Amino acid sequence: MIKELNILDKIALVLVIIGGLNWGLIGINASYDLVQLSLGMWPTLVQLVYMLVGAAAVYVAVAMMKFARK
């Protein structure tokens, strides 16, 4: 039986999706950095978003390893 996602799981999933889409756009054209285009006027916020996406990726990776063991 699969448990429902808690709020942290949902936030991490959204952040990982945002990061994946952003990297896909950068792969198409390096000037398509959606985070930078959206929040470029606040460089500290851009850096925070990148850090949160990275932390979310680690969280999801660990969660998937735990899930795979069951």
Query: Mind listing the pLDDT tens digit for each residue in 14-61?
Result: 999 999 999 999 999 988 899 999 998 999 999 999 999 999 999 999
> 45, 8 in Cβ contact below 8 A?
no
Considering the domain boundaries, does residue 13 fall inside one?
Answer: yes
DSSP structural state of residue 70: -
Considering the domain boundaries, does residue 1 fall inside one?
Answer: no
Cβ-proximal residues to 18 (8 Å cutoff; 6+ apart), any chain:
34, 35, 49, 53
The model's pTM is 0.81
Considering the domain boundaries, does residue 2 fall inside one?
Answer: no
Residue 50: domain span: 7-69
